[in-house]
């Protein structure tokens, strides 16, 4: 794309601009290269304008910003914009040729359930013969099904990465894409340039208040997805849905609690093989089976079915797709030990991302109904300014619903780990409970809790799920919760054989 054409696409004056070739756009000076446009964003710690000379030396051809500081000049052509983050997104979409306009795009947002719902929707669309890609917190997939990871850790990648990945999906022949839209992505305009066909709303609860300030602000950012989509899939069981009705030109509702929605589940049963229920829907009434643990996954499945049906999936394709779904890494992921269960029964160990009081309560309540023995849970809470108000409630939920809870580290960052653990202990003690153990080292805590469990028990390892790093006060270390748990299960079985 030529620089003058980009300026025109952004509705900026192109006079006196050199008409060089634009290769890409970035707001990160370390990523700038020949032919890039640099977006100078004023952040909490740095002003991007201070990196103009650096990006010029790297080969950047122009700068977008909200205005040069009085004491600065630009060594590159400077284009003033009203909102730098919006300009980053708009420029990224223009440079890539607005790839989302060539795809059927489903966006999924909510506090809990959005990852599972996104993966389910992707799977159901593929079952309906749509070549479908995925951008999720776990990674991204092209229609070939191979899970890939971005080099930088974002719940949703930045706008240039989003647009570049969508263009790659178009290039390999994708028909559709399912994209998780976090509140950060919506607030920071990372997905501003996406053309949404369907918005799926899962559930809203207290989260990320360090960034948003209030639950109202948090809701307002997530609501943007519904406002921008042509069709909305809304959770009739979520109280916030009443304020979403009518925002999209078209909508449908779903309910796993019998609230009279368009898509309603009834006669829900949960057994060793997973979930089964009857569906009442615009496509008629039919039975459905899902090989997943957790009654709450019925709601996620209904949301995915409603979205896929809007894009053309039949009832038969939905039923077949649900039956063949194998879950999401780190979302109620069931682990097995080394030996056959008949030869050497072992505790059931489940890895899940549950890290808010409501999501932890859902997970523990569900597992209680399918656990013949004791129910154990391991949980931590993030440090830094990330909503310290949920630490004590996490401890309370864990101690109230599990037979024994273990409190441990989970990305303590710049907050003393002892402070976090004391708050969780305080929450547990609030109800007079003492059924908890505190083990600061997460690997050691996993080894301890699995080592204490017996056949017939269930151990829930909550909070980290598929995340691949563990952030401590002075270091970030590689982390694989499933691998650590499998190692502890192997040790358990070796001890049992003696």
| Residue at which a domain ends, from 293, 323, 353 | 323
The secondary structure of residue 239, as a DSSP letter, is G
Query: Is 273 contained in some domain?
Result: yes
Q: Which residues pair with 404 in a beta bridge?
A: 376
State whether 61 and 180 are in the same domain.
no
Assess whether 84 and 112 both reside in one domain: no
User: Which has the closest alpha carbon to 408: 382, 387, 429?
Assistant: 382
DSSP assignment string, 178-208: EEE--HHHHHTTTTTT---SEEEE----S--
Q: Looking at the domain assignment, is residue 26 inside a domain?
A: yes
Q: Which residues pair with 198 in a beta bridge?
A: 106, 231
Q: What is the CATH number of the domain that holds 434?
A: 3.90.190.20
> Model pTM?
0.77
Crossing angle for the helix pair 297-310 and 315-323, to the nearest 10 degrees: 140
For residue 245, the enclosing domain spans 99-323
Do residues 275 and 357 share a domain? Answer: no
Say if 328 falls within a structural domain. no
Choosing from 95, 113, 148, the residue where a domain stops is: 95
Residues written for the chain: 498
Binding-site annotation, residues: 110-116, 155-156, 182, 190
In a domain, residue 35? The reply is yes
Domain membership of residue 60 (yes or no) is: yes
Task: Extract the tokens encoding 50.
Answer: 């201070």
* 109 neighbors 183 (Cβ within 8 angstroms): yes
Same domain, 210 and 75: no
Query: Is the domain of 314 the same as that of 355?
Result: no
Q: Are residues 146 and 264 in the same domain?
A: yes
Decide if 176 contacts 134 (C-beta within 8 A). no
- The continuous run of DSSP H or E covering 484 comes out as helix 481-497
**Kindly report the CA angle at 84 between 385 and 31, in degrees rounded to 5?**
80
**CA–CA distance, 59 with 39 (Å, rounded to integer):** 14
- Domain assignment present for 141: yes
Helix (H, G, I), strand (E, B) or coil at 58: helix
Q: Are residues 67 and 127 in the same domain?
A: no
Tell me whether residue 424 is in a domain: yes
Q: Do 69 and 145 have their domain in common?
A: no
> Within this chain, do residues 119 and 200 fall inside the same structural domain, yes or no?
yes
**Could you tell me the CATH number of the domain that includes residue 44?**
3.40.1390.10
Whether residues 109 and 45 fall in one domain? no
Question: 342 and 439 in one domain?
Answer: yes
Q: Could you tell me which residues are annotated as the binding site for ATP?
A: 110-116
User: Which phi and psi (to 5°) does residue 277 adopt?
Assistant: -165, 170
Residues 424, 385, single domain; the answer is yes
- Neighbouring-strand partners of residue 378: 406, 461
> In the numeric block, which tokens belong to residue 206?
């207290």
Residue 339 pLDDT:
42
Distance CA 246, CA 47 (A): 40
In the chain, the number of structural domains is 3
Among 323, 342, 367, residue at a domain's last position:
323
Q: pLDDT tens track of the chain, all 498 residues?
A: 999 999 999 999 887 888 889 999 999 999 999 999 999 999 878 899 999 999 999 999 999 999 999 888 999 999 999 999 999 999 999 999 999 999 999 999 998 888 899 999 999 999 999 999 999 877 789 998 888 877 654 445 899 999 999 999 999 999 999 999 988 889 889 999 999 999 999 998 766 666 667 888 889 999 999 999 999 999 999 999 999 999 999 999 999 998 889 999 999 998 766 899 999 999 999 999 998 888 889 999 999 999 999 999 999 999 999 999 988 888 888 886 544 443 557 899 999 988 989 889 989 998 898 888 999 999 999 876 666 888 999 999 999 999 999 999 999 988 999 999 999 999 999 989 999 999 999 999 999 999 999 999 999 999 998 888 899 988 999 999 999 999 999 999 999 887
CATH of residue 220's domain is 3.40.1190.10
Examine residue 253 and state whether it is found in any structural domain, yes or no. Answer: yes
On whether the CB atoms of residues 343 and 372 are closer than 8 A, the answer is: no
């Amino acid at each position: 794309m030529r620089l003058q054409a980009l300026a025109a696409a952004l509705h900026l004056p192109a006079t006196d601009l050199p008409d060089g070739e634009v290769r890409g756009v970035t707001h990160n000076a370390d990523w700038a290269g020949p032919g890039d446009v640099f977006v100078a964003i004023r952040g909490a710690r740095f002003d991007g304008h201070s990196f103009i000379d650096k990006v010029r030396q790297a080969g950047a051809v122009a700068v977008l910003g909200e205005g040069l500081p009085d004491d600065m000049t630009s060594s590159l052509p400077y284009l003033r914009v009203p909102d730098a983050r919006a300009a980053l997104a708009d420029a990224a979409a223009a440079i890539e040729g607005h790839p989302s306009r060539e795809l059927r795009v489903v966006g999924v947002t909510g506090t809990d359930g959005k990852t599972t719902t996104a993966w389910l929707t992707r799977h159901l669309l593929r079952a309906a013969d749509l070549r479908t890609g995925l951008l999720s917190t776990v990674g991204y997939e092209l229609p070939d099904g191979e899970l890939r990871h971005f080099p930088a850790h974002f719940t949703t990648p930045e706008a240039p990465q989003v647009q570049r990945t969508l263009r790659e999906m178009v290039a390999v022949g994708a028909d559709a894409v399912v994209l998780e839209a976090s509140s950060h992505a919506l607030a920071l305009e990372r997905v501003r340039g996406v053309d949404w066909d369907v918005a799926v709303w899962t559930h809203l609860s207290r989260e990320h208040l360090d960034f948003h300030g209030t639950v109202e602000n948090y809701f307002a950012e997530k609501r943007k997805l519904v406002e921008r989509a042509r069709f909305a899939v809304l959770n009739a069981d979520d109280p916030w849905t009443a304020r979403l009705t009518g925002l999209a030109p078209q909508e449908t509702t779903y309910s796993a609690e019998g609230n009279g929605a368009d898509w309603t589940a009834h006669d829900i049963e949960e057994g060793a093989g997973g979930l089964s229920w009857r569906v009442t829907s615009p496509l008629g009434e039919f039975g459905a089976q899902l090989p997943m643990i957790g009654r709450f996954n019925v709601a996620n499945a209904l949301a995915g079915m409603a979205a896929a049906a809007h894009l053309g999936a039949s009832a038969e394709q939905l039923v077949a797709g649900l039956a063949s779904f194998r879950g999401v890494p780190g979302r109620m992921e069931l682990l097995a030990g080394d030996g056959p269960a008949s030869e050497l029964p072992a505790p059931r160990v489940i890895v899940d991302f549950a890290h808010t009081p409501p999501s932890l309560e859902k997970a523990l309540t569900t597992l209680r109904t399918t656990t013949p023995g004791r129910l154990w849970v391991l949980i931590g809470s993030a440090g830094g300014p990330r909503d310290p108000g949920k630490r004590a409630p996490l401890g309370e939920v864990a101690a109230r619903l599990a037979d024994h809870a273990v409190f441990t580290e989970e990305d303590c960052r710049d907050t003393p780990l002892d402070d976090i653990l004391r708050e969780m202990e305080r929450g547990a003690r609030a109800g007079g409970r003492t059924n908890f153990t505190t083990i600061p080292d997460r690997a050691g805590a996993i080894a301890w809790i699995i080592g204490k469990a017996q056949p017939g028990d269930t151990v829930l390892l909550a909070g980290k799920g598929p995340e691949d790093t563990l952030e401590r006060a002075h270091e970030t270390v590689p982390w694989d919760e499933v691998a650590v748990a499998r190692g502890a299960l192997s040790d358990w079985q070796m001890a049992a054989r003696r």
